[in-house]
């Protein structure tokens, strides 16, 4: 990369990165999002307009927007409901 560049690598496991990459990186850990933050983002993304539904999905999401998006999928919700 050109001088003065910053590259952000986002991963789920430090051990899954090559040692030559890990040795040149600074690790920054992020906490999971709070349920109220997830609910707000769900609505902002337009995945649901129902505030109660957004809060319920956020509570199940474990702070993960990826999982929250999956939980917003109507087909997934129907499957989950039938399974439970």
Q: Which of 29, 27, 39, 47 is nearest to 63 (CA)?
A: 39
Using the predicted structure, report yes or no on whether residue 80 has a pLDDT greater than 90: no
Given this model, what pLDDT does residue 11 score? Answer: 83
Mean of the per-residue pLDDT values for the chain? 91
pLDDT for residue 24 = 87
Residue 55 has pLDDT above 90, yes or no: yes
Percent of the chain with pLDDT over 90: 60
Give the pLDDT score at 67. Answer: 93
State the burial class of residue 38 (Cβ atoms within 10 Å of its Cβ: 0-12, 13-18, 19+). buried
Selection from 23, 22, 33, 25 nearest residue 58 by Cα: 33
Q: How many CB atoms lie within 10 A of CB 59?
A: 14
Pick from 83, 75, 67: nearest CA to 57: 67
Residue 33's pLDDT band, with cuts at 50, 70 and 90, is very high
């Amino acid at each position: 990369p050109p001088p003065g560049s910053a590259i952000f690598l986002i991963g789920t496991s430090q051990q899954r990165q090559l040692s030559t990459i890990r040795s040149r990186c600074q690790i920054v850990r992020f906490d999971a999002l709070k349920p109220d933050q997830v609910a707000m983002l769900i609505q902002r993304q337009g995945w649901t307009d129902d505030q109660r539904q957004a809060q319920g999905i956020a509570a199940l999401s474990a702070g993960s927007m990826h999982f929250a998006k999956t939980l917003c999928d109507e087909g997934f919700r129907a499957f989950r409901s039938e399974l439970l």
